[in-house]
Amino acid sequence: MDLRRASIEDRSRVELFQRAAYARTEAAVGARAIPLEWDYGLIFEQCEVWLDERDGVLAGVLILRVLEDELFLESIATAPDFAGTGCGRQMLEATFRRAAEIGLNRVGLITNSRNPALAWYGRMGFSVIHEEVEENRRIVHMTRPVSTLRASQG
């Protein structure tokens, strides 16, 4: 799998993709998905946006924010037709390669405590740092060292 770095010309395509990809997460958690609250103009300015395209079809979107001490996984989303195919795992592996490439030793993320992906993040080696409660959701903060690359099941 080769990811392509998105350009600002991809913005509307990414926004449409995110709405479709996060619809099932919203249904599962009963709350608005955080990535659907973003200003994607700022996301494209402040983050690395990567596209997983397969035979001309957008299969996944990966959004990474480079911080001083970690690579923050802002969003990892797969198209509904690619759920369960390993697309997410491959994008996550690309995240760890990117962190190592730029000299960062940790990858962090946040997710809703009711997100079905929470268990997947655990299987992929992430551990919970802490949780915070907002009005309509509990946000789980997770991290994983880059050095713990291992074969994981997605």
Any domain includes 15: yes
For residue 68, pLDDT beyond 70: yes
Q: Is residue 153 part of a domain?
A: no
Model confidence over 73-120: pLDDT tens digits?
A: 999 999 988 888 889 999 999 999 999 999 999 999 999 888 888 999
Full-model pTM: 0.90
- The owner of tokens 């509307």 is 12
Specify if 122 maps to a domain.
Answer: yes
Domain-embedded: residue 154: no
Instruction: Give the integer Cα–Cα distance in Å for 93 and 89.
Output: 6
Rg (CA), the chain: 15
Q: What is the pLDDT of residue 1?
A: 59
Is residue 109 assigned to a domain?
yes
For position 148, what pLDDT does the model report? 52
Q: Which helix (H) or strand (E) holds 126?
A: none
Please give the sequence-ordered ranges of beta strands (E in DSSP) within 2-83, or none if there are none.
Answer: 3-5, 48-54, 57-66, 71-78
DSSP annotation of 154 reads -
In whole angstroms, give the CA distance from residue 117 to residue 92.
12
Domain of 9 in residue numbering reads as: 3-148
Helix (H) / strand (E) containing 134: strand 127-134
Supply the DSSP string of 32-50, one letter for each residue. Answer: --GGGGS-HHHHHHHSEEE
- pLDDT tens digits for 13-66? 999 999 999 988 888 888 788 898 899 999 999 999 999 999 889 999 999 999
pLDDT at 8 (0 to 100): 96
Determine the Cα–Cα distance for residues 49 and 75; give it in Å rounded to an integer: 9
Q: Which two tokens stand for residue 107?
A: 């990858």
Q: Which residue has the higher pLDDT, 144 or 29?
A: 144
Residues 54, 122: contact at Cβ < 8 Å? no
HEC sequence for 95-108: HHHHHHHCCCCEEE
pLDDT for position 154: 44
Q: Which CATH number do you get for residue 78?
A: 3.40.630.30
Number of domains in the chain: 1
Domain assignment present for 35: yes
